[in-house]
Chains A and B, each alone.
Chain A
Amino acid sequence: MSDTTPTLLSVEDVYAGYDGSDVLHGVSLDVHAGEFVCVIGANTAGKSTLLRTISRLVPKSRGRITFDGTDLMSLKAHEIPKLGIAHVPEGRHVFPDMTVEENLLLGAYTLRQDPVYKERLEKAFTLFPRLKERRRQWAGTLSGGEQQMVVLGRAMMLNLRLLILDEPSHGLAPIVVDEVHDALVKIHEAGTSILLVEQNTSLALSVASRGYVLESGEIVLAESAKALHDDPKVREAYLGL
């Protein structure tokens, strides 16, 4: 399918890093429209740096990144969500001193009074009914799983075209991980392309159709999820089989 659908996100030969040393060394990857792509890799491989570079949060970066023909390298971080790219950063950053609804509102604050806001809010509440029950509760008092729903719901308040997720399962109980898994599948089925980074490799390979393996800032493997799952190196290094 990746040959027939148009490329949505294209990352070409990207270098990025922090004060002095590069973390990414010439990374290239693509996400096609409607695709669910994952990036797996060990601690400090540079997975978060890769996602943060796409979102323009890493100032020291070079290379080519385009989204549906728009050059992302010339934009600022806060301009990226307007294109329909939602980045859910590592660590589930809800705004704890705001209610659930205020958190969601913030995701759509560019819309302000737009009637579309209500529509999207309803969509988020349909996917996460628990958020509707708790819409007036302080986000900081929610459980980890519920906070994950808030950040996913917040992403859905944009005109969402590409969802970038940094370890959504991290630190969650297994049963909650299943819920997150189901939510991702639903969001994807509704037509959103997804780029997922996970250390939970079996989760990543069970939801994505294609994957990349990132090692020390370089892409060392790019295969279908099934092929990666059957790859002896991946099985040994990332699946512990």
Chain B
Amino acid sequence: MKWWITGAVVLVAAAIVPTFLDPTGYAIRVLTLALLFAALGQAWNIVGGLANQISLGHAAFFGLGAYTSTILLINFGLSPWIGMLAGAAIAAVAAYLLSFPTMKLRGHYFALATLAFSEVLRVIAGSWTSVTGGPVGLSVPFSPDSFWLLQFKSTMPYYYIMLGALVVISGVFVWIRHSSLGYRLRALKENPEAAEVVGVNTTQVKISAAVISAALTATLGTLYAQFTYFFDPEAVFGIIPISVRAAIIAILGGAGTVVGPIIGAFLIVPMEEMANVLLSSRGAGLSQLAFGVMLIAIILIEPRGILALITNGVSRLRRRKSS
């Protein structure tokens, strides 16, 4: 099957599924979250997968998106659609500035620097109480149903909004991958020096990827805030709930591929939900442990992710049949 036929079939199926579900039920909520986090993994994939820069600080941009649009909504009644653009712009500037100190850092050092940056923002959000609500967090003023204010009683509209976000961000990912920026990113990923000597401005390429990824991540922060109605600093700036989760979703599924984060999110999010239901309060901290175990497992079994595991398996089966 051609890839676009597969894509169209999956998309149609995704559009039909909610009609079979209770529109305010638990199942659709889990699926909506899975779509949101698939989109987050995809945004992360632009730096983590294409440029091979493993960021552990994407919560910084997610949180900037959530706080920016919500603060604008609470204080000025501004539509979250506009707040979303403001958040994206702020996140883009933050990513641009952050790229200078982190430019020369490789591997773990880059990951740690991005992580430190998001932690600084988390601490600021926790202490600047007059604006951010401090450690208690912010509540989105409740006024459903309004498309302009991005609020709905039913989960179903959110489902379609997250699906739309996933489609758009996946589209951006595919477009970048096949654009000249994508070629330059791939060259950079293979070997920075070899890329430079064929004329790739690796500095500029890294910054472009970081800025695009950050802006997209911030829009998801806004959508998350509107979906959950309430968040505190840990929920949007947290290392485990956002940064690590984004990275694991993409790496587990297959970083650098467009379906990787989608596979990853639809495995991890429902699994976490199931663990929460089964273990309730006794399971606190369990998702951290589960993330760690999954990461080690994937690195040991197939560092290129589940997608590679599947394609390898399929081609092995084919070979066996044909021989």
Contact = CB atoms under 8 A, between A and B. Distances in A.
A204 interface: no
Contacts of A88: 197
Interface stretch (A12-20, A75-83, A182-190, A205-213): A75-83
Contacts of A52: 193
A57 B187 contact: no
Given A78-B202, A109-B180, A87 B187 contact: no
B197 A112 contact: no
A55 B196 CA distance: 9
A86 B194 CA distance: 11
Interface string B187-215: 10011011011111110000000000000
Given A93-B191, A98-B186, A87 B180 contact: no
Contact of B199 (A57, A78, A89, A93): A78
A73 B136 CA distance: 55
B186 A95 contact: yes
B122 interface: no
Contact of A93 (B184, B186, B190, B200): B190
Interface residues of B, number: 16
Contact of A106 (B193, B198, B201, B202): B198
B183 interface: yes
A86 B197 CA distance: 7
Contacts of A93: 190-191, 193-194
Contacts of A87: 197
B199 A109 contact: yes
A81 B196 CA distance: 9
Nearest to A157: B198
Contact of B194 (A89, A102, A109, A158): A89
B191 A57 contact: no
A104 B82 CA distance: 43
Contact of A78 (B183, B191, B196): B196
Nearest to A56: B196
B197 A97 contact: no
Contacts of A107: 198-199
Interface residues of A, number: 28
Contacts of A110: 199
A47 interface: no
A106 B198 CA distance: 7
A161 interface: no
Contacts of B196: 55, 57, 77-78
Interface string A102-142: 10011101101000000000000000000000000000000
Given A102-B183, A106-B183, A109-B183, A96 B199 contact: no
A154 interface: yes
Nearest to A52: B193
A89 B198 contact: no
B133 to A, nearest CB: 45
> Quick one: which of B180, B184, B193, B202 has the most chain A CB within 10 A?
B193
B201 A57 contact: no
Interface in A141-170: 154, 158
A55 B197 contact: yes
A80 B190 contact: no
B186 A105 contact: no
Interface string B74-89: 0000000000000000
Nearest to A140: B190
Contacts of A78: 196-197, 199-202
Given A81-B198, A89-B197, A109-B184, 15 more contacts: A57-B193, A57-B196, A78-B197, A78-B201, A86-B198, A88-B197, A95-B187, A95-B191, A97-B186, A105-B183, A106-B183, A109-B200, A110-B199, A112-B180, A154-B198
22 contacts: A57-B197, A77-B193, A77-B197, A78-B202, A79-B199, A86-B198, A87-B197, A88-B197, A89-B194, A93-B193, A93-B194, A95-B186, A95-B187, A95-B190, A96-B190, A97-B186, A102-B183, A106-B184, A106-B198, A109-B198, A154-B198, A158-B199
